[in-house]
Chains A and B, each alone.
Chain A
């Protein structure tokens, strides 16, 4: 009998193609904004204010040099207009070098400029190009924005503390929920959700006084304590489901072969729970790293990195490309961690329901 596969294959192919079209469209929607901010963070200050914005950052800048009224006329190749635009008329090469560095992200030393200028002896107009420092915005952000670097270290400290606090306290409770049936178990489960219903803001304000009393106001430990409140709730939920996924019989086997409960936990349960716990830690990290409002309230002179970027954004101090650089710098650790735990996140949520 002859095969009649053709019409079915066309229908199937059509379905698969439309699926891929939808997926591609979604990927574009996801990546486009990200792409543009990243690109913006690499653009020079001059280009960042051009309209329309260049589609991608330039790897090098093209210059044109000729004699000008006050010395030398420097023009730069504008990618938007596709022609050279005059930007400076000066004989001060130092000034030129600084302009190139800060406005164009092109680190050209005075000596290098002198060399090009020398060529003007024999020609009327000379053109040259110089590579750009793509990371200039990032460097400037960290240098110019006061507090940036210390804020960064502070944020990292806070994240580490939050992880330690929430995993230890939350993990213990999670284990209790997983292994034991005790009075008030269901009530506690619900209350864990209930905790999230009170906005972080609300807690932050009274916490100012409480932390001040403890001596933790405006200190990393203070914020870690506050962040852990939200983090512990989630950790309990998630560790409970992780531990429930590890059969009790494994621990019991260890007990039969001579271990104490603690040893059984340390050597059998903990290693098996590690992937899930790692994911929990990452969630705690992300929560602490990204949080802004409590940080605003609970710090004054020692802000977190998130607060610094926020201030740059809404303050007048922010240049567009610098703000972009700050934002991307803040986003990087988050994305890196997400990459590592993407598989575990799914595992974590598998057993969790209200």
Chain B
């Protein structure tokens, strides 16, 4: 191959390698996204309109869905992060059996959402295994888990979701922890710190990029929670954003406005997710760091 060709080929290689990804995303992501966006602004008669969004805003379940989603996101991300951090710190101590413990801790994450749904729906009914267990432990009477107040149900959902999700956060944090050199922490001890001091002033600050990754991934997923709520409580009882989308697309799909509502909710969810993610990134200084790196 003549030299100029070879050089051009060499310079083109990276672009050729990423071309498939770019094309794939253009066809199977960008286009559907644009379709969805356009569709959400398209009325029943095919004209450009804000009507879909109006309908969504006026939907009686819109504000509750928004509120519930917000509560769930704030509490579950916080709870999950703290518990996952605790777990990661414990496993990082490498005690006897920590390898097995790690595998066990990963199991909830591997379970399909429907399996987890089956797990808790069979447990939370009046005759379910949770009440049965309580019975064996000596507690009399049944607790009607699924008949509580809205707040109680939200708490229940948050705990159940945390049960499943904590392992995935833990794994990311654990990887980050293990990337911190042992000597760097030891220096913290030699120069006057006890366990908490070193944790606060050295380990956690050095873990910051990892924490950011974990939190933002978790944030994006948390906003889109829906399946566990539908399995346990059915539709419309405790609405959240994506549950509304499935409701309109699947449950009541033969309504005239179903598609519009579904699309409307979808776009709103996407906007919320994007804004939340960008806001978080901004606040945590990820953009600043990125800029520093490039410089």
Contact = CB atoms under 8 A, between A and B. Distances in A.
A–B contact, 8 Å CB criterion (strictly below) = yes
Interface of A: 16, 19-20, 22-23, 26-27, 29-34, 36-37, 39-40, 49-53, 55, 168-170, 172-173, 175-177, 179-180, 182, 186, 188, 190, 193-207, 209-210, 225-226, 228-229, 232, 236, 286, 289-290, 292-293, 296-297, 306, 309-310, 313-314, 320, 323-324, 326-328, 330-331, 334-335, 337-339, 342, 345-350, 352-354
Given A334-B111, A347-B175, 17 more contacts: A30-B107, A36-B122, A50-B127, A51-B126, A52-B135, A53-B129, A198-B29, A198-B33, A201-B269, A205-B266, A310-B227, A314-B231, A323-B121, A335-B107, A338-B103, A345-B171, A350-B176
B270 interface: yes
Contacts of B108: 30, 34
A236 B21 CA distance: 9
Contacts of A313: 114, 117-118, 121, 231
Given A30-B107, A40-B122, A205-B36, A350 B127 contact: no
A232 B29 CA distance: 11
Contacts of A353: 176, 209-210, 212-213
Contact of B107 (A34, A225, A229, A348): A34
21 contacts: A30-B163, A36-B129, A50-B127, A52-B136, A198-B29, A199-B245, A199-B270, A200-B224, A201-B246, A201-B266, A202-B36, A204-B32, A206-B36, A229-B25, A229-B28, A290-B112, A293-B226, A297-B250, A310-B231, A349-B172, A353-B209
B36 A327 contact: no
B106 A207 contact: no
Interface in B101-119: 101-119
A50 B126 CA distance: 11
A225 B28 contact: yes
A33 B294 contact: no
A346 B175 contact: yes
A26 B89 CA distance: 14
A24 to B, nearest CB: 10
Contacts, number: 283
A289 B110 CA distance: 10
A292 B227 contact: yes
A78 B23 CA distance: 63
Contacts of B185: none
Contacts of B234: 314
Interface of B: 13-15, 17-18, 20-21, 24-25, 28-29, 31-33, 35-36, 39, 87, 90, 93, 95, 97, 101-123, 125-129, 131-133, 135-136, 142, 163, 171-172, 174-176, 178-179, 209-210, 212-213, 216-217, 220, 224, 226-227, 230-231, 234, 242, 245-246, 249-250, 259, 262-263, 266-267, 269-270, 273-274, 277, 281, 286, 290, 294
Contacts of A228: 24, 28
B6 to A, nearest CB: 11
Given A52-B135, A188-B18, A199-B224, A346 B115 contact: no
A176 B14 contact: yes
Does more than half of chain A's interface fall in helix, strand or loop, or is it mixed?
helix
A126 to B, nearest CB: 32
Given A172-B17, A172-B21, A349 B118 contact: no
Given A290-B112, A313-B118, A327-B114, A210 B93 contact: no
Nearest to A16: B95
